[in-house]
A = this chain, B = another copy of it.
Amino acid sequence: MAWRYALMIDPAASDDPRTDFSETFTVIDPATPALSVGELSTQRGDGIFESIGVVDGHPQEVEPHLARLAHSAQLCDLPAPHAEQWRQAIARALAEGPAEGEGVIKLILSRGVEHGPAPTAWVTAAQAADNTAARTRGIRVVTLDRGYDSGAPARAPWLLLGAKTLSYAVNMAAIREAKRRGADDAIFVSSDGVVLEAPTASVVLRFGDRFVTPEPTGAILQGTTQVSLFDHLRAEGRDVAYEAIPAADLVKADAVWLLSSVRLAAPVTAIDGAEIVVDAALTASFNDYLLSPRD
């Protein structure tokens, strides 16, 4: 039976001197109504989020996720999150869950209720879907035009391209388009042909002994799982690099993975119908690492 918990949070100002935030949390049944129809998260997708993987009760990479939440808040002119409050909220949500298995914790910070005084915040914790097939048999992807050229993020920060906002309708539409084309997922490319990211994952390619991922230029979200994997590869003495990757190079790669916090490393078996060889042993070693406790 799948488990699921939720915690409403009364968000503290970033300079709140308290050390114990337990009184700001309210555990709720996630199936019961908790948000009003005036919520700007629901009316405008106006808020930010993070998804944290949980393995056997351990939340993975909490600090990088909190750092990215703070970065998203800044890009969206939301009040800076109080990191310690969110740490305690994560711990509190986890205390409600089982000590074994895989889960996902979502942190949500909404601009709040329309004309309301303050942001709304909550955390959900749920059992993860079984991602074994994606991690071992792999996934088929298609490339989809993201519409923006590579220069857009620098000249138009109001496009919020580096923020993980709740406005994910396009990301969801891209995954539906991929499925319509007989694939499992998508890789976005810029209108001038540069590899960006997947709708909910980062892209990593192997060329010989080198592992390459798109530069974190602000056009994409830098993936916490991708960064963690690169740390691991570097520690193993492997060569990793951030580069502008032409879309045409995707099918020239010796291997391609999509990396994300919950599905972890999913080897790509085909891009736009062109088959790609899967290195099963290397992929398994990636997922072994990604399933180990990481901070």
Interface-central residue, A41, A158, A174, by most chain B CB under 10 Å: A158
**A34 adjacent to chain B (CB < 8 Å):** yes
Checking B108, B146, B149, B176 against A77 with a beta-carbon cut-off of 8 angstroms, the contacting residue is: B176
**A132 adjacent to chain B (CB < 8 Å):** no
Q: Tell me whether A34 and B31 are in contact in the complex, defined as CB-CB below 8 angstroms, given that A145-B152, A169-B167 are known contacts.
A: no
Q: Tell me whether A33 and B33 are in contact in the complex, defined as CB-CB below 8 angstroms, given that A45-B166, A149-B191, A173-B76 are known contacts.
A: yes
**A277 adjacent to chain B (CB < 8 Å):** no
**A168 adjacent to chain B (CB < 8 Å):** yes
| Shortest Cβ distance from residue A4 to the other chain B in the assembled complex, whole angstroms | 8
| Shortest Cβ distance from residue A288 to the other chain B in the assembled complex, whole angstroms | 29
Which residues of the partner chain B approach A18 to less than 8 Å between Cβ atoms?
Answer: none
Q: Tell me whether A168 and B170 are in contact in the complex, defined as CB-CB below 8 angstroms, given that A37-B122, A45-B44 are known contacts.
A: no
Which residues of the partner chain B approach A32 to less than 8 Å between Cβ atoms?
Answer: 33, 36
| Shortest Cβ distance from residue A178 to the other chain B in the assembled complex, whole angstroms | 9
Which residues of the partner chain B approach A155 to less than 8 Å between Cβ atoms?
Answer: 145
User: Are B148 and A177 in contact (CB-based, < 8 A)?
Assistant: no
Q: Tell me whether A156 and B166 are in contact in the complex, defined as CB-CB below 8 angstroms, given that A37-B124, A172-B44, A173-B76 are known contacts.
A: no
Which residues of the partner chain B approach A191 to less than 8 Å between Cβ atoms?
Answer: 148-149, 152
**A49 adjacent to chain B (CB < 8 Å):** yes
| Shortest Cβ distance from residue A152 to the other chain B in the assembled complex, whole angstroms | 4
User: Are A172 and B35 in contact (CB-based, < 8 A)?
Assistant: no
Q: Could you name 24 residue pairs across A and B whose Cβ atoms are closer than 8 Å?
A: A30-B37, A32-B33, A32-B36, A33-B33, A34-B37, A35-B35, A35-B39, A37-B122, A38-B124, A45-B167, A45-B168, A45-B169, A144-B158, A145-B156, A146-B156, A146-B159, A149-B191, A158-B173, A158-B176, A158-B177, A160-B170, A165-B169, A166-B167, A167-B170
Q: A44-B45, A158-B176, A166-B167 are in contact. List 19 more A-B contacts (CB 8 A).
A: A28-B37, A30-B36, A30-B37, A31-B36, A33-B33, A34-B36, A35-B35, A35-B39, A35-B42, A37-B124, A42-B166, A43-B49, A44-B169, A144-B156, A144-B158, A147-B156, A147-B161, A152-B191, A160-B173
